[in-house]
Amino acid sequence: MPSIVCADSIFGEMFGTARMRSIFSDRSLVQRYLDVEAALARAQARIGVIPEPAARAITAVASVERVDFQKLTERTQIVGYPILPLVEQLSEWPEGGLGQYCHWGATTQDIMDTADVLQFRDALTFVSADLKAISNALAVLAEAHAQTPMAGRTHLQHALPISFGYKCATWLSAIDRHCTRLQELKPRLEVVEFSGAAGTLASLGDQGLATQHALADELGLGVPDITWHTIRDGFAEMSGLLALVAGTIGKIGYDIMLMMQSETGEVLEPFVAGRGASSTMPQKRNPISSEMMLASAKIVREQHSAMLDAMVQDHERASGQWHVEWHALPTAFIVASGGLSAAVEVLEGLDVRPRAMARVLDVTQGLIVAEAVMMGLAPRLGRQKAHDIVYDCCRTTLTTGNAFDDALLDQPEIAAVFERSEIEALTNPANYLGSAPQMTRALLSRRNGDS
């Protein structure tokens, strides 16, 4: 078993995309630290806190290519945080002693939190793109199959007919809400952290807030209402969003897995030679991508749980809870990206099988529309009498295996007032989709901005 599955060379691409892992790589993270230090120097030069030549010199050398990672690692083990060891190196790179102006008035958490925000901004761009791809794929499926009948299930049993497009539209509604949530989250999340040792900006005197605003401007971030060193609801909200997204992806994957069972085969994942193959059973076509969608939901949920726990921090600087974020947030993003990527692949190429859906609808010999028959008989026979007759006919069909419509027409009360064609129409699942097609098309119309 690998030590950390989302970073493993064998399993890694299944549990997270390469582009998301790259955002949270060591080199990318250290470059973000350097980006923040350089932006801080430029911001302070703009308002006269440090000399302009110092800002230019620091910006010119703030490249991860210059970092001695062995020294950084060794010093971080001693210090407990990477910023002091990194600033030790950065301050030596500019000529003429200008490196002394690095990290002016900042504290370690200022740099790390702000670098994290920059990472998350990039990561959310990928999450947003995948959500839009999933949304578009589901809209296509919903439109194409708005009236394709299939079995609706409650408690894993046949309930009433629905349309496959309706099922896709219910998935789509959640994905679209996640897209909205993501956009609503960004202003609360994408804010700079620059507050100094205890959050009061005391080291910069009357230039503290000016520096904070200038740094936010340099990085394209917002200005927070107040210091958030130990107020972590923004990051927890983000992990909550990822857990919600992964949960919806897991639900879709779970439904697809159930519909892919050999006994049903209503849909299949896109065919890829060798995908889902068994080492001993050549016939197997396992729902590998859907399984990853479900696994992603379970793993990301646990990261959000950790983030909720890590919110309970002491006073003005956490004594250990902050460290939980270093594991939970990158893991949540990486694993969520694996689930999202699997969902894009599955939904853009889903093999929908209406004939199999029709076959599954007939498994109960028409019993899935027992409600439709009862409601159809009621105007002529009375509701309670219709209910009792249909109930008995259901038992007959279950016992004998004969068709439901035959059992109905064997009842003298029904045969006396109904033609066979009327009973066959009542027992046709395609005639009992309710408002599913209209609901589906109304959703599609609203999201397209149609009146």
Q: List, by residue number, the catalytic residues.
A: 155, 278
- The token duo for 151 is 């079995």
Contacts of 228 (CB under 8 A, 6+ apart): 113, 191, 193, 234
Residue 294 tokens read as 């479900």
Tell me the C-alpha distance between 210 and 207, whole Å.
5
How many residues are present in the chain?
A: 451
Helix 370-381 × helix 383-400 angle, to 10°: 140
Contact by Cβ (8 Å): 89, 302: no
Instruction: List strand residue ranges (DSSP E) for 130-261, in order.
Output: 149-154, 157-163
Please report where in the chains the tokens 């120097």 appear, as a residue.
Answer: 41
Reduce the DSSP state of residue 154 to 3 states and report it: strand
- Residue 117, Cβ neighbours under 10 Å: how many? 23
**DSSP per residue, 341-356:** HHHHHHHHS-EE-HHH
Q: Which ranges of 145-287 would DSSP assign to H, the alpha helix?
A: 164-189, 208-219, 233-259
Contact call for residues 39 and 142 (beta carbons, < 8 A)? no
* Position 54, amino acid: A
Which residue, among 125, 122, 231, has the nearest Cα to 179 in the 3D structure? 125
Contact, 393 vs 407, CB < 8 A?
Answer: yes
32 burial (CB, 10 Å; 0-12 / 13-18 / 19+) is: buried
Look at the block and give the residue holding tokens 């900042």. 106
